Amino acid sequence: MKPASLKELKSELSLLPASQVLDLMMQLTKHSKDNKELLTYLLFHAVDKPQYIKEVKESIDAQFAEINMFSLYTIKKSLRKILRLTNKYIKYTSNKQVEVELLIYFCRSVKKLGVPLPDHAALGKLYLRQIQKITTAVSTLHEDLQFDYTLELEEL
């Protein structure tokens, strides 16, 4: 079964009464955790992006605190998990400035962790990919923001 296009879905939803749209939204949130998380972001966090960034940073800190530092394997898996969740939070916002903020915070946290990145190829490449993503996202921002974030990027 081929899903309908976004335009078709929008036109169908505009024809339905509000109560039926609400029922459809509730069904969507029951089927997928990602749908529920996205709806939570849109309803409660989209209006206050600085607070959302702060909460995500706290979540990142909590995950970094749980990393088992005795094994390189677990460090690598934990960093990938944290990055995957960070990218999910970034995807919800669809905002380049939030993306830059959170990825810079992730990279700073990795450096604070104290893992020698040049000695481990996989971790070094993971870190460099994030720096490249930040550079790409910064290039799309306003000139003043570009200057500020470029200074932060040079520190990394």
Q: Are residues 94 and 131 in the same domain?
A: yes
Contact 77, 125 (CB under 8 A): no
pLDDT value of residue 43: 84
pLDDT value of residue 14: 85
Asked whether residue 57 is assigned to any structural domain, the reply reads yes
Q: Are residues 126 and 81 in the same domain?
A: yes
pLDDT value of residue 109: 92
pLDDT value of residue 21: 83
pLDDT value of residue 119: 79
User: What pTM does this model have?
Assistant: 0.84
> What's the domain count of the chain?
2
pLDDT value of residue 107: 92
C-alpha 54: how far from chain center? 13
Contact 98, 90 (CB under 8 A): yes
Q: Are residues 25 and 100 in the same domain?
A: no
DSSP state of 117: G
Tokens coding 37: 């998380």
Asked whether residue 2 is assigned to any structural domain, the reply reads no
Q: Which domain holds residue 74?
A: 48-155
Report residues of the chain scoring pLDDT below 50: none
Asked whether residue 65 is assigned to any structural domain, the reply reads yes
Q: Are residues 112 and 125 in the same domain?
A: yes
- Amino acid at site 90: I
Q: Are residues 87 and 139 in the same domain?
A: yes
- Amino acid at site 133: K
